[in-house]
Each structure stands twice: as structure tokens, then as C-alpha cells.
Amino acid sequence: MKFLLVEDNSDLAGAIASRLRLDGHVVDNAETLEDAKAFVSTGEYDMILLDIMLPDGDGRTFLKEHRASDLDTPVIVLTARSQVSDRIGSLDLGADDYLTKPFDHAELEARCRAVLRRKSGNARVTIETGGVVFDSVAGSLKVAGEPINLRNRELRLLELFLNAPGQVFSKQKLADRLFSYDDDVSENAIEVYVGRLRKHLEKSDLGITTLRGLGYRLDHAD
């Protein structure tokens, strides 16, 4: 996905951008409203992450103007304030969602997915391999033409494997991606989710291999 990050704090912008790029996303960073307008007018973005407090104005002004134009790029507001009225205001002005800083990147992704799912018509990124058709935005999986209902953690687990075929994921790494940091996760829980995913993939050419002491890996059957 292609993100436009409107954030004046370069440290934070850098941190968010590097985190997003780790997941394979493309990120442009605008530090002012002026830059943001320039970026929007020249490039096409799947998602705009908008800070509210900017050096040359209020992010909500940009939001208002953006909604008035014919572009319907979804906007998620990032706010450092925690006032409810601020959030309501953002939503009223046309933000698709908001996040309070600091935020969990998993949550950001979940929200992005939810927003994109609500906005139909956008180009979808689908992965087709080994008899599996996977749409990460819609969260849909087809195995041998049969649609399969995935739960959120199963979906994210599959996405991890599909994005890095052949890579070995330790149980700890998987836990860090699937659970929030305040969850008390046992290694057993990862085994449960891997087991479920294996079952979903039974009729495909894909399989999850257990490497004792190391972790799991997605393999083609052939």
C-alpha cells in the first residue's frame, strides 16, 4: 500500500515510516500542510495518515478541504490529544478513523484494513500462489476455489507467511505479531493458530512446516 504520512515531527515520522516499510508499504512523508497538498495533487495514495497539530495550520482544515475535493482517499487522523471532543470533531469533518499516539502498529493496520474494506472500489492487492487466492484487505481466502472464513489472527498469520515464503518464523516472533504486548501469550497458543491455519490450507499446495527448536515455515508442496 502507498501511504501519505502528514507528520511534522521528523523523528516520529521516520519511526512510523520505517515501521510501515518493514511491512512492505510505500510511505511519503509531508511535514507541512503545504507539502501534503502538493503530494496529494501529484501522487495517488491508498491511505493518508494525518497529524492534527501542524506548524502551518490545523490538520482539520486540510481534512475539510480534502473532503471538499473529489478525491476520496481514506484519512486516518493521528492525534496526540486525548480529548473526546477532538476525536468527534475529526470524525465530523470526514476522517475515516482516528488513532491516539502512541499507537500499536497492529492496530493501525487493522484500522487501515477496516477503512479500506468499507471503501469499495479501491484496487486490491491479491496474492495467488499454490492454489490459494488471498485478499489481505478483504481478509478473504479461497482454497481450490472454495471461500474459507478466517479469523483475524489466522488471517494475519497467513499474511505473514505469504509475504515471506520460505522464511522461518520463531514462535516468539509470531506471538509478537499476533498478540498485543499486554496479552499473556503461551507458546501453546501459537501452536493452536498454526494448527488451525494448516487445516484451512489442507486442500491447497501450501503447507506449514514445523522446524523443531526454530519455528515454522510456509512451503510449497511440490
Binding site for another protein (CB under 8 A): 9, 11-12, 14-16, 18-19, 22, 53, 78, 80-86, 88, 97, 100-107, 110-111, 113-114, 151-153, 170, 172-173, 176-177, 179-184, 189
Q: How near is the Cβ of 5 to another protein at its closest, in Å?
A: 11
Q: How near is the Cβ of 70 to another protein at its closest, in Å?
A: 26
* Residue written as grid cell 507458546: 187
Q: How near is the Cβ of 54 to another protein at its closest, in Å?
A: 11
Positive/negative CA dihedral, 98, 104, 110, 113: positive
Distance CA 63, CA 59 (A): 6
Nearer to another protein, 12 or 133 (CB): 12
Nearer to another protein, 18 or 210 (CB): 18
Nearer to another protein, 115 or 143 (CB): 115
Nearer to another protein, 18 or 209 (CB): 18
Nearer to another protein, 100 or 209 (CB): 100
Q: How near is the Cβ of 15 to another protein at its closest, in Å?
A: 3
Q: How near is the Cβ of 28 to another protein at its closest, in Å?
A: 17
